Amino acid sequence: MNIHVLSLFPEMFEGVFGSSILKKAQEKNAVSLEVTNFRLYSGNKHSQVDDYPYGGGAGMVLKPEPLFQAVEAITGDSKKPRIILMCPQGERFTQAKAEELATEEELVFLCGHYEGYDERIRQHLVTDEISIGDFVLTGGELGAMTVIDSVVRLLPGVLGNDDSPVQDSFSTGLLEHPHYTRPADFNGLKVPDVLLSGNHAHIERWRREQSLFRTWSRRPDLLSNTELSSAEQKLIDQWEKEKND
């Protein structure tokens, strides 16, 4: 996969792209990560990429020319990539969206600053608008880093165990079950016996029930989109009853 980022502050990505899983993914040639300062495509002697909004108002608006020209320059004759605008007005980012983007060959992230974007960027350049939450950041860089990390870890061979992302929270529709490791007894706090039993069927059943309980207690909204067995529905009904008693 090829990922391009257009940002006025490319130095913000150096530590993130040069560390941990993203660094390893590049070393494995699973992904190439490039950051371009789109000020280079301003087309004017003052390298201006923003201007006052027509009709008045506070703040500055990113001009269309630099981003259109930067996208054209970095993508060239390649098949039209997914061009993602990081924006608080965009679609809420989810694990399902990460899984969708992980199937693409090329992604371009647009990271703006200032008051906003010229509307022609939204209408005629981007394919996706993504928000990482109902809050506003000073720019799109931190949001882009979040989305890129989430997508890259799903690429084949990036994680040590390819089953790991399949078991993540949200990938199954439920929150992930609790995890334990050595020691089995820490200051009197013991690992559940079932995990030490060696009975894989019992362990999987326990993990599914714990995942279900954690979702029910913390994010019950997720259950509406999860297919449950009759036994699992009975468990939820039991928990509801105990909660209300």
SS3 state of residue 4: strand
Catalytic residue, from 34, 104, 106, 115: name it: 115
178 is catalytic: no
Angle between helices 141-152 and 20-27 (to 10 degrees): 60
Is 115 catalytic? The answer is: yes
Q: Which of 34, 53, 64, 88 is catalytic?
A: 88
Asked if 168 is an active-site residue, the reply is yes
Active-site residue identified among 50, 66, 118, 153: 153
CB count within 10 Å of CB 135 equals 7
**CA–CA separation, 99 and 95 (whole Å):** 6
Comparing C-alpha atoms, which of 16, 8, 11 is closest to residue 147?
16
Cβ neighbourhood burial of 3 (10 Å; 0-12, 13-18, 19+): buried
Has 141 been annotated as catalytic?
no
Catalytic residues: 88, 115, 153, 168
